[in-house]
Amino acid sequence: MAQLLKLKKYQAEAVEFINSRRYTLLADEMGLGKTAVAITAGASARKILIICPSFLRLNWLRELKLWRADFNDLHIQIVDNGKQKIHADIIITSFSLVSSPLIHKQLTRKKYDFLIVDESHYLKSPTAARTQHILGDGRKIRGVFAKAARVVLMTGSPMVNHAGEVFTTLVRFNPSQLKKSHLHTYMNFCLKFCYMKDNRGEITPQKVRNELLLKQLLRPFMLRRLKSEVLKELPAKQKQIIALDLNPTLKKLVKEEQGYSIGDVEKLYRSQDTQHIKDLKESEYEALATIRRRVGEAKVNLIVPHLLNDLEQVEKIVIFAWHINVIDALSLALQKYNPVTMTGSHSPKVRQKAVDDFQTDKSVRIFIGQMKSAGVGLTLTASSRVYFAESWYVPGDIEQAIDRCHRIGQKDNVLAKFFIVPDSLDERILDSALTKQKYIDKVV
């Protein structure tokens, strides 16, 4: 209870910061609840535009349902194609669709009480179409920004590579101050706050300099808190459910699995050796096993953008899956991050090397493990991020998997993300497991 009260106090401070100004750059480190804060700050707003990466649209809908008490009274629309007619008061759309001519025309005809831009580091380039359609072109306030009474830009990484990446934010939030200081052009800004490098005749900005002056420019608008600063005020382990967009393959699979229950899933996996789940044969639940595997495979391409986004903000991540096919597909898609994998077929020597490489080698940024084989007995404290690519029905196994990172040697709070398919058996399995865990927690 004490932790919950402290968390509420921490969130209330952020809400107060946002509500005391017109423009805010909410730059709290990843995992500190920026989404909940932004929704709470806009609790009284009726006309809201939310712009985010396409893979986060459904997640914003879930978060609105969680944090807006009046959710059932709201008229909410997810814009997911360039020909859609916009008619709602609360609109959720993506960066790419804001640049779609028809969508942009409709959006700029409206006025908004509140504009929320999630992962706003996507707007770091002043010449990018999405930046100009949302924030304007640097010389004049245009785009949807000009239509909003209040604006919150959200990112855990306001400067991914160099100081010039906050120019597009500052030139909108405080144009008069930048003009007064002769920093209202991108090049002048970079010359002041970046080291400039000659890269084969092209001058490119690098790193950050004149940090104190830059901090002064950002201070009136930016709220930035690190996990290390607020860690004691947060639960040791946090869980977050991420809803994935339904592609045609998943829509078909959701229909095919409608006749099965969570009990069928439990019977299926209890009867099978986890090391050979890929090769299920002659089982009364063989059809269900095939559907579960295909669901996992279809989720991979939808999960990867989330992982790539988070890898810009954290050094290492741990991923758990059930099917070997899913593990192989994730490993292939994330190859440039030197992933190590662990399944039931690996020898103890190979397993230990995978753990050691992940724990000690900075170039190995991803560990992908099979739920039963890698979910116990390992120390993976090099990461504080745990991702579940497939839903699992045993709450104890889920907690054990999270505890590979949440154990002695871990310095950060651990965030576990669960990727689910809305209105599916996949979602029911996870909901059942998390509900069971709540009752377990009341006893032990």
Chain mean pLDDT for the chain: 85
421 contact partners, CB below 8 Å, separation of at least 6: 243, 244, 246, 250, 254, 295, 299, 427
What's the confidence (pLDDT) of residue 1?
Answer: 44
Comparison of pLDDT for 4 and 323, the residue scoring more = 323
In the block, which residue shows the tokens 């292939």?
A: 332
Chain segment 39-74, per-residue pLDDT in tens: 999 999 999 999 998 878 887 998 899 899 899 899
- Is the pLDDT reported for residue 443 higher than 90? no
**Nearest residue to 275 via CA among 197, 346, 378:** 346
237-443 classified as CATH 3.40.50.300: yes
Q: By the 8 A CB rule, do 389 and 221 touch?
A: no
pTM of the predicted model over 0.75: no
pLDDT band with cut points at 50, 70 and 90 for residue 7: low
CA 170-173-176 angle, 5° bins: 85
Comparison of pLDDT for 209 and 263, the residue scoring more = 209
Q: Which has the minimum average pLDDT: 174-183, 380-389, 435-444?
A: 435-444
Q: By the 8 A CB rule, do 391 and 420 touch?
A: yes
What's the confidence (pLDDT) of residue 376?
Answer: 66
Q: Per-residue pLDDT averaged across 244-260, rounded?
A: 89
Q: Per-residue pLDDT averaged across 118-136, rounded?
A: 90
As a whole number of angstroms, the distance between CA 102 and CA 83 comes to: 7
The burial of 321, by beta-carbon neighbours within 10 Å (0-12 exposed, 13-18 middle, 19 or more buried), is given as buried
As a whole number of angstroms, the distance between CA 141 and CA 132 comes to: 9
The burial of 365, by beta-carbon neighbours within 10 Å (0-12 exposed, 13-18 middle, 19 or more buried), is given as buried
Q: By the 8 A CB rule, do 415 and 385 touch?
A: yes
- List, by residue range, all CATH 3.40.50.10810 domains of the chain: 2-233
Q: Per-residue pLDDT averaged across 347-368, rounded?
A: 90
3-state DSSP call for residue 350? Answer: helix
Q: By the 8 A CB rule, do 150 and 180 touch?
A: no
In the block, which residue shows the tokens 């039963």?
A: 372
Residue 112 amino acid letter: Y
What's the confidence (pLDDT) of residue 336?
Answer: 95
CATH topology for the 2-233 domain: Rossmann fold (3.40.50)
What's the confidence (pLDDT) of residue 157?
Answer: 78
- List, by residue range, all CATH 3.40.50.300 domains of the chain: 237-443
